[in-house]
Amino acid sequence: MRRRVAGRRPERLPRPSWWSDAVFYEIYVRSFADSGEDGIGDLEGIRSKLGYLELLGVDALWLTPFYPSPMADHGYDVADPRGVDPMFGTLGDFDVLLTEAHRRGIRVTVDVVPNHTSNQHAWFKSALAAGPGSPERDRYHFRDGRGPGGTEPPNNWVSVFGGPAWTRVPDGQWYLHLFAPQQPDLNWANPDVRADLERTLRFWLDRGVDGFRIDVAHGMAKPAGLPDMDPDTPAHGGAHGDPRFDDDGVHEVHQLIRKVLDEYPDAMAVGEIWVQDEERLARYLRPDELHLAFNFRLVLTHFDADAMRTSIERSLAVPRSAGAPAAWTLSNHDVWRAVSRYGGGETGLRRARAMALVELALPGAVYLYQGEELGLPNADLPPEAMADPRARSQGPEFSRDAERVPLPWEGTLPPYGFSRTAQTWLPMPADWASLTVERQLEDPESTLSLYRRAVELRKHHPAFRGGDELQWYGAPAGCFAFRRGKGGLICALNTSASSIVLPPGEVLLTSSPLVDGRLAPDSAAWLGPVRD
């Protein structure tokens, strides 16, 4: 249990905080490891694989929601934020997992979902029963409809999952949901909502968790009057002027969160923030708000050296302007896996391995998504097997299930050691035998071995002590090279069709074998300082 420090003032610590350069590992709990026979991952499954995570060398875990939920959005529709859904285990199981992870030197962070609850949450059930104008309904966004008899939604907002962002209840009012109808948005102007989040944060911090990932961290506050949106606005916000997201009032919520966290030594929070305006994004990283903000520019950038360099430079500028570290990621449970995003097959794998070295060479925190260290591609799933609510509301092409398929651990056939049943919650591909942990663990050329070596070098090699500023080299077309600080690590990326001469230095690691001492296409290399 963490000891609280009363009255601690929010400030940037002069010493580097543990999260400033940590390697985090996202565990999508449903798909990591199943300790039983229901085909769904659970907390005991995670505990049983902590030795693997220790071997991989990660510093911290991020667990996706494991709270009681009807699973309309696989846990992001939370019915009780201070419990454990029986399909994942018990609070006792969580405490054992936390204790064992800490014993191995691995920190644990968990998801919180402050934008909305499940429609099965006790508050929402009470709101439906209490009726219009009640204090219970004020915890959410209930409104009368427009048009004759109030039969039209209160405004023209659309859901991120498709269709109107409003659902009508039997008494004629409508409630707001920026995501699925089963996920009603909370009203952050209501003091009960703020008090309940503080209670949730303290509940998990007092149990010993090391921090939080804040879901939809740009979405909690809503503008007064809930004005109509421009019909041409993208469906996930991101641009200032979209009234659904990035309202100025959201910063009061993050200040509340930070005030709680500052009472717990070394606790941190990272936000999921899809905001492209750099000045507005930097506001989330002010000293009394978030410690880290996910940077999604690399995820959104195609495999091109010039485009990647621009993304890196802009991605570093935002947190530095706020005095915070960067937070990098190439994959998560909501986006295509890098192997498939970069073209699939051998080409996609080569490029994903190269980008892994680029990402792990950069200053700041790094978030890995389970399975990327195995080089997993998206799974090809038939529409009838898809479970994502987006597949139902928007069509199979919008499904996120392809990147959420369970991990292959061992053996030659599904479920590859993930579960004691072959009927996993999403079907596993029949051609993943070569991608299992078992097959890759002792293969020095495997993607798993590449990640293990890269994380080890990042932690221990003196070349990473050169500093956090990047110095860019001149490079051939389709390539770049940067150095970490003065005399530090050099990272080179080749996205061209030709092999290239590397900068001077001791070759520490390459994503693909060198060709006559040259860096092959679709490859990256790490070099240490030239030895005297």
Known catalytic residues are: 215, 263
What are the counts of helices (DSSP H) followed by strands (DSSP E) for the chain?
Answer: 14, 16
Secondary structure element (H or E) that encloses residue 507, with its range: strand 506-510
C-alpha 399 chain-centroid distance: 17
Distance CA 208, CA 518 (A): 49
Secondary structure element (H or E) that encloses residue 508, with its range: strand 506-510
The β-bridge relationship of strands 327-329 and 365-369 is parallel
The β-bridge relationship of strands 479-484 and 490-494 is antiparallel
Q: Where are the alpha helices (DSSP H) in 247-303?
A: 250-261, 278-283, 297-300
Q: Are 323 and 302 in contact (CB under 8 A)?
A: no
Q: How far is CA 54 from CA 60, 154, 242, in A?
A: 10, 51, 42
Question: Residue 180: which of 41, 273, 74 has the closest Cα?
Answer: 74
Q: How far is CA 349 from CA 32, 342, 354, 374, 395, in A?
A: 21, 8, 9, 10, 27
Amino acid present at 524: A
Distance CA 333, CA 64 (A): 9
Contacts with 299 (C-beta within 8 Å, 6 or more apart), sequence order: 329, 330, 331, 332, 335, 341
Q: Residue 178 corresponds to which tokens in the numbers above? A: 């920026």
- First vs last C-alpha separation in the chain: 50
Amino acid present at 79: A
Distance CA 292, CA 365 (A): 8
Distance CA 472, CA 481 (A): 6
Q: How far is CA 344 from CA 348, 418, 519, in A?
A: 4, 24, 21
